[in-house]
Amino acid sequence: MKVLVTGHKGFIGQNLCKAIREEGWELTTFDIIDNPTMRPKDLDFTDVDCVMHLGAISSTTETDVRKIMDQNLSWSIELYEECRNQDIHMQFSSSASVYGNNKSERILSENDICYPSSYYALSKYMFEQYALKRPQSRSVLQIFRYFNVYGPHEEHKGSQASPYTQFAKQAKEKGVIKVQPATVKVLFEHLVKYTFLLLALETFSAAYQKFSE
């Protein structure tokens, strides 16, 4: 299997490429940082089975609307059309930020109403809507709305890095973690939930490894 990953120099991209190599799949990459004038039609799709499209301006504070809409929306649409034309499957990285300030207390689903509150979120949501209106083809499109993701290789994101990475950096460099007083209660509630989730994942992982022996 041959996979093309866009945005491979980013946080998720670096970890994804590592996993693909470990899986033994053939990997080819593209990052607009290296080729800012290239468009999807210029990419080499030879023998590519699947495109994993991570490339985007991910900063939620970016205010250059034209730049965001070109790189996040137009570029994605052009890439999707290339995949459709060549019967190549595509995975698109969207974001949970498309939900915006959704105050529902239940678990959200892909069918919930979205309230994009940043240009970044809007660009992701607009691609989703574009893709949903296209007729079916042999090319399968999967869309993933990532929530809070953290791990190795996100240090370069600065203030856009996950709270976990920012707090870990503060603790290591200064010995303290600074947060706004009003957020402490919310952070604690989330910490309890994440701790429970991590324990559950560790238990599942151990059980799976035992089952696989």
Q: Retrieve residue 71's tokens.
A: 């790189």
9 in active site: no
Q: Which of 74, 26, 80 minimizes the C-alpha distance to 53? A: 80
2 in active site: no
Contact yes or no for 95/116 (Cβ under 8 A): no
Q: Assign 3-state DSSP to the chain and report helix, strand, coil percentages, each to 5.
A: 50, 15, 40
Catalytic residue among 99, 119, 120, 125: 120
Catalytic residue among 2, 146, 157, 169: 157
Show the DSSP H helices in 43-156 as ranges: 65-68, 75-85, 119-132
Measured CA to CA, the distance from residue 195 to residue 183 in angstroms comes to: 18
Q: In 3-state terms, what secondary structure has residue 6?
A: strand
Contact yes or no for 56/31 (Cβ under 8 A): no
Burial of 45 (0-12, 13-18, 19+ CB in 10 A): middle
Contact yes or no for 131/91 (Cβ under 8 A): no
Catalytic residue positions, numbered = 120, 157
